[in-house]
Amino acid sequence: MPLLPVNEIFYLCQVWQFNFCIHSAKSTKSTMFMWNESQGHKGVNDVVSCLNNYITKVLSAEVDSLYLFSDGCIGQNKNMKVVQYPITLVASGRLKCITHYFPVKCHSFLPCDTSFTRIEKIKRKKEKVETPREWEDIVKNEANFNVETFKNTNNT
């Protein structure tokens, strides 16, 4: 970010806008957690914070089993903190069972990939996008996703 028609300006003022997708297979809806680099990073703490936010604010209290599908990114998904977080949810009684899958690389296509493709198609039609708020509006209003503006308080 920003998305600008002039390459020279683009490289002088680039700010990272992060987008983390959680797709519900039951409702077939995607929730996008969006934040920029001044609000957090895109590491394991941010992933766990997004999962926690989704489970506490979006996921129905009636749900007692959860199936997670994640790509094999070691820095974000395939590490001890992401493995321990679901164990904590089961131990606390919030959920009874959590199964976490890591599909085989290059042999799977997750629903979140389709969601990101939809955003990319809209992005190609834009001449410029200058602020994080504009990106959130595009994802929410034009791509029709639920957008949670995310701010991680654990920037470690």
pLDDT digits (tens, 9 = 90+) for 23-76: 998 889 999 999 988 887 778 888 899 999 999 988 999 999 999 888 766 666
Is residue 77 within 8 Å of residue 101, measured between CB atoms? no
Q: Above 90 in pLDDT, residue 6?
A: no
Neighbours of 122 (CB within 10 A): 13
Local structure of residue 141 (DSSP, 8 states):
I
Q: Above 90 in pLDDT, residue 8?
A: no
5-19, 86-100, 102-116, 128-142: range with lowest mean pLDDT: 5-19
The sign of the dihedral angle between the CA atoms of 114, 67, 35, 132 is: positive
Q: How far apart are CA 149 and CA 53, in angstroms?
A: 11
Q: Extract long-range pairs of 70-74: CB within 8 Å, 24+ residues apart.
A: 70/100, 70/101, 70/102, 71/102, 71/103, 71/105, 71/110, 72/102, 72/105
The CA distances from residue 1 to 11, 32, 75, 128, in Å, are 10, 17, 22, 9
pLDDT averaged over every residue in the chain: 83
